[in-house]
Structures are given as C-alpha cells and as structure tokens.
Amino acid sequence: MKFNSTEIRRTERVHCASSAG
C-alpha cells in the first residue's frame, strides 16, 4: 500500500492514539 507523506503522518498519529488509548 502506498501512502502520501501527509497520509503517513496522519496514520502515524492514529496509531499512536490507538496504542495510548
């Protein structure tokens, strides 16, 4: 799956939030 720089940053934040949550 190829993601744009913005998409990657957005996904990274989501992953961090999911882990913290």
Q: Quick one: pLDDT at residue 17?
A: 61
Threshold 0.85, pTM exceeds: no
φ, ψ for residue 4, nearest 5 deg: -75, 160
Is-contact 11 3, C-beta < 8 A?
Answer: yes
Length of the chain: 21
Q: What is the pLDDT of residues 1-21, one digit of tens each?
A: 566 777 777 777 776 666 655
